[in-house]
Amino acid sequence: MEEQKTEEIHKSDEVQEHKPSGSRRDDNTVFIGKKGTMGYVLAVVTQFNNGAEEVCVKARGKLISRAVDVVEIVRHRFMPEAKIGAINISTEELTSEDGSKNKVSSIELKIQK
Amino acid sequence: MEEQKTEEIHKSDEVQEHKPSGSRRDDNTVFIGKKGTMGYVLAVVTQFNNGAEEVCVKARGKLISRAVDVVEIVRHRFMPEAKIGAINISTEELTSEDGSKNKVSSIELKIQK
């Protein structure tokens, strides 16, 4: 019984995972939003300067191309020694305010120091 | 001297490589342009139906997100058994009509039957 309780606490921790507002998360992930490309480039470089070995850049929908721009600018202009790791694409289902569901593509690009 | 001449011929061959007009090339590649997403989905599925084992979807700039959409729709709606192969990103330098140079990100996604 005690074990089960512990598990529930873990789950409720996970639920808060998605924060649509911020562009950064503490676990070395940069979420691409509607701000300028260079802001996200700076966010990635900062994470590396703070000791991260790998940074994950995520984006959805039309912002996918901005995510690719960010990774390319980081690699070519600021960190020529960095390598691109796994690139994954997937489909997410978003529920809009009126309850209708929309499918949207997403991308995840990993950059390694 | 003769060697140098041969090299120049090679170079001028390479220059014609980029055709911005067509959306397809004969070597199992689908170039994403400004038409609707479903047209490119159809182009990919057609190439597989014509016997291709692998189709490469390429896009540049803002059209990168459409390329990801195309691959995701092919995989989820038309060919559930297909797998995503290598995904590569790079930067291309385009020379515009007035001679100025612009860098643009590009993506290449491979789908395997």
The pLDDT tens digits for A43-74 are 999 999 999 999 999 999 999 999 999 999 99
DSSP-derived secondary structure letter, B50: T
A40 membership: H or E segment, kind and range = helix A37-49
Rounded to a whole number, what is the distance in Å from the CA of A113 to chain B's nearest CA? 17
A15 inside domain: no
For residue B16, being part of any structural domain is answered with no
Question: For residue B59, what are the CA distances in angstroms to A28, A64, B10, B48, B68?
Answer: 28, 12, 25, 19, 9
In a domain, A22, yes or no: no
Q: Is the pTM of this model over 0.90?
A: no
Tell me if B5 is assigned to some domain.
no
Q: A105–B76: do the CB atoms touch at under 8 Å?
A: no
Q: A9 CA to chain B: closest CA distance, Å?
A: 34
Residue B15: count other Cβ atoms within 10 Å of its Cβ.
7
* Six-digit token string for A75: 């690699």
- Which pLDDT band holds residue B26 (cuts at 50, 70, 90)? low
CA angle (B69, B75, B79) in 5-degree steps: 140
- Helices within B1-113 (DSSP H only): 2-15, 37-49, 64-73
- pLDDT band for B96, please (50, 70, 90 cuts): confident
Choose among A61, A63, A87: nearest Cβ to B87.
A87
Q: Average pLDDT, whole number, for chain B?
A: 83
Residue B15, in any domain of the structure:
no
In a domain, A12, yes or no: no
* Residue A11 covered by a domain: no
φ and ψ at residue B93, rounded to 5 degrees: -105, 120
User: Which residue from B72, B89, B90 is facing A105, i.e. has the nearest CB?
Assistant: B72
Residues of B with CB under 8 A from a CB of A: 61-65, 68-69, 71-72, 76, 84, 87-91, 105, 107, 109
If you measure CA to CA, which chain B residue comes closest to A77?
A: B91
Which pLDDT score is estimated for A27?
79
> For an interface test with B, which of A34, A77, A89 has the most B Cβ atoms less than 10 Å from its Cβ?
A89
* A-B C-beta contacts closer than 8 Å: 44
Average pLDDT over residues B21-47: 84
Q: Do A89 and B84 touch (CB under 8 A)?
A: yes
The percentage of residues in chain A with a pLDDT greater than 90, rounded to a whole number, is: 70
Predicted confidence (pLDDT) per residue in B46-92, tens digit: 999 999 999 999 999 999 999 999 999 999 999 999 999 999 999 99
Extract the tokens encoding A73. Answer: 């600018």
Residue B108: is its pLDDT beyond 90?
yes
Dist CA B17 CA B15 (whole Å): 5
State the total domains in chain A.
Answer: 1
CA distance B40 to B34: 10
Closest alpha carbon within chain B to A104: B69
CATH code for the domain of B70: 3.30.110.20
- Contact (Cβ atoms closer than 8 angstroms) between residue A75 and residue B88: no
Task: Report the alpha-carbon distance of residue A101 to residue A98 in Å, rounded.
Answer: 9
User: Alpha-carbon distance B58 to B68, whole Å?
Assistant: 10
pLDDT tens, residue by residue, A12-44: 443 334 444 444 445 799 999 999 999 999 999
Backbone conformation region of residue A3, classed left if phi is above 0, alpha if psi is from -120 to 50, else beta: alpha
Contacts of A107 in chain B (CB under 8 A): 68
For chain A, the C-alpha Rg in angstroms (whole number) is: 16
Distance of CA A113 to the CA centre of its chain: 17
- Can you give the residue range of the structural domain that contains B40? 27-112
Residue of B nearest to A92 (CA): B72
Q: Judge whether B60 lies within some domain.
A: yes
